[in-house]
Structure 1
Amino acid sequence: MAQTRSGRRPSLEAIHAEIKRIEQRRERQKEVGGIIGRILFVVMAVMLLNIYVLRIATVSGASMEPTLRGGDVVLCSPLGYKPDYGDIVVTELDIGEGDLAKRVIALAGDTVDIDPGTGAVSVNGKVIDEPYIAEPIHEKPDMEFPAVVPRGRVFILGDNRNNSVDSRKEIVGMVPESTILGKVVFRIWPLGGFGPI
């Protein structure tokens, strides 16, 4: 058995105290490891939920007013989502404004037209009812109408038609379905607007 610096062997009590200190250190390490493991599990679970079940997005700008306002925080559901008429979606297209939140107006194969006089939007020859818009379109679009939505794409517009960068602009155009993060289903902020969309 090792001797102490004074040349004497350690006492039995000193050996037991050292063993107890080692055991306590191992217990603390186990506890810390357990806490770190739980934190990593929660982080991974949140990441997986955010990717596959519900995604969080923040609305940027005034393009979806009055339905959504800049700074609103919404939940999007990507799980098995296929675009449908009237859905508000978030797309990951990057035009320098963050994720785009817009409304699906037309799907692949549809013919979209915008009447330059009234600003009315029609899909496949029928004017669509849009009680959610701030006002009809007054500004001239970048593209020619009528236009057919290509396969694998959708035509999206902001509800605030005269203050929206959307499918009428070349910078966005007809949006690939693959860039859609999901359908907006719930507003979580501000609390005054908390609830389903």
Structure 2
Amino acid sequence: MRQRIHQMDRPTSSEVRQELDRVKHGRTYRKTLKSTIYILVTVAAFAVLVATLWMPVLEVYGGSMEPTLQEGELVAAVKSGDFKTGDVVAFYYNNKILVKRVIAGPGDWVDVSKDGTVTVNGTVLDEPYVDELAYGDTNIDLPYQVPDGRWFVMGDHRSVSVDSRNKAVGPVAAEQVVGKLVYTIWPLSQLGSVE
């Protein structure tokens, strides 16, 4: 008795080439995907490092800095220890980060009149960023001399801001400072430098 032997169809050279190309493409795809993931992880780690060490991004809560900053805005701060009158800074206070404006530096004399006019070393401050002057929550003895290594800060919305005028906050020490606010990054309609 004869047995039939079935031969399988042999693939053509173009089918072999297509299969090799498919396998090669799969290897290239996996290699590219792995490389992309490594790059993304590295960039993310670098961004976190920059944000933590040099340029933290903060969200504004409350209305003590209105009209300059509104609640919900995202702002970028630059780590710095050199401030001048008018700079807006973020600092730690009771496990929170507060945002206020530098009014005076170490050794300066600050006085606030009952109508809210602020003088530093006998000179009335020009404060175009304040919509309405107010004496606010003040319980320090005025005039007040700012201690060494500290800054006297106030919110732009003087009637609601609790700041260096109050003994609870007092003048801000260098180790409390997160950084100087330099740029509003969100919402896009408010994109620009912090003045």
TM-score, with length taken from structure 2:
0.78
Q: Post-superposition shift, 1:44?
A: 1.7
Matched, 1:122 2:115: no
Q: Partner amino acid for 2:100? A: K
TM-align CA RMSD: 2.3
Inter-partner Cα distance in structure 2 for 1:193 and 1:26: 47
The answer to whether the 8 A contact 2:59-2:73 is kept is yes
Inter-partner Cα distance in structure 2 for 1:94 and 1:140: 18
Gaps of 5+ in 1: 1-24
Q: Partner amino acid for 2:94? A: D
Matches within 5 A, 1:78-117: 78=79, 80-94=80-94, 98-116=96-114
**Partner SS state of residue 37, structure 1:** helix
Q: Which residue number in structure 2 is paired with residue 166 of structure 1?
A: 163
Gaps of 5+ in 2: 1-25
Q: Which residue number in structure 2 is paired with residue 75 of structure 1?
A: 76
**Partner SS state of residue 99, structure 2:** strand
Matched, 1:187 2:180: no
* Larger Rg belongs to: 2
Matched, 1:56 2:54: no
- Runs of at least 4 residues of structure 1 off by over 6 A? 25-32
The answer to whether the 8 A contact 2:137-2:162 is kept is no
Q: Partner amino acid for 2:84? A: D
Inter-partner Cα distance in structure 2 for 1:153 and 1:104: 10
Percent identity, please. Answer: 38
Q: Post-superposition shift, 1:69?
A: 0.7
TM-score, with length taken from structure 1:
0.77
Number of positions where the alignment pairs a residue of Structure 1 with one of Structure 2: 172
Inter-partner Cα distance in structure 1 for 2:123 and 2:108: 11
The answer to whether the 8 A contact 2:61-2:71 is kept is yes
Q: Post-superposition shift, 1:29?
A: 8.2
Q: Post-superposition shift, 1:195?
A: 1.1
